[in-house]
């Protein structure tokens, strides 16, 4: 983290259950992060609050500049100080939901790295995750940039 800070390198974090089970340690790391990806269950565990409350969203505004929260078949949110965007999932028949969150995160982060808007980031994440769940296995449906644009 120190090297990244010294060299102005932005950090994206997608913590797992192990990291989330130690919230104090994780929160100390998140103050250095620029993009945080969680699913709904992870976000509730970390914040200790339900997403239906304003304090949930306010918690994440204090944690990281850009927060993406996926909620399976109920879509995804991307949150910043200035915007709170939501997208439902695309209307497809899922074959295997393995890898959906990782597909969302990789595509949405790629969009931001390529200097696209938050809306585009959300759209890319939704498209990539829809493609992944439409195939068997976590990697078979991953889209190339030429397919996602």
pLDDT band, very low/low/confident/very high, at 2 (cuts 50, 70, 90): confident
Q: What is the CATH number of the domain that holds 67?
A: 3.40.1190.20
Residues 6+ apart with CB under 8 A from 22: none
Please state, rounded to an integer, the average pLDDT across all residues of the chain.
94
Has residue 119 got a pLDDT over 90? yes
> What's the structural domain count of the chain?
1
Domain that holds residue 9: 2-148
pLDDT of residue 51: 85
In contact, 68 and 105? CB cutoff 8 Å: yes
User: In angstroms, rounded to a whole number, what is the distance separating the alpha carbons of residues 149 and 143?
Assistant: 10
Which pLDDT does position 95 carry in this prediction? 94
Q: In which order are the strands placed within the sheet that holds 84-87?
A: 12-13, 35-39, 66-70, 76-79, 84-87
Residue 124 has pLDDT above 90, yes or no: yes
């Amino acid at each position: 983290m120190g090297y990244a800070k010294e060299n102005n390198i932005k950090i994206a974090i997608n913590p797992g259950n192990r990291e989330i089970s130690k919230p104090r340690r994780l929160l100390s790391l998140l103050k250095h992060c620029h993009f945080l990806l969680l699913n709904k269950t992870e976000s509730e565990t970390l914040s200790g609050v339900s997403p239906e409350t304003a304090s949930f969203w306010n918690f994440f505004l204090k944690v990281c500049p850009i927060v993406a929260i996926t909620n399976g078949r109920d879509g995804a949110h991307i949150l910043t100080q200035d915007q709170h965007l939501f997208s439902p999932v695309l209307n497809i028949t899922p074959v295997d939901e393995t890898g959906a969150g990782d597909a969302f995160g990789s595509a949405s982060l790629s969009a931001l790295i390529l200097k696209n808007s938050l809306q585009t980031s959300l759209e890319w994440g939704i498209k990539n995750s829809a493609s992944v769940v439409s195939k068997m296995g976590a990697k078979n449906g991953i889209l190339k940039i030429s397919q996602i644009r």
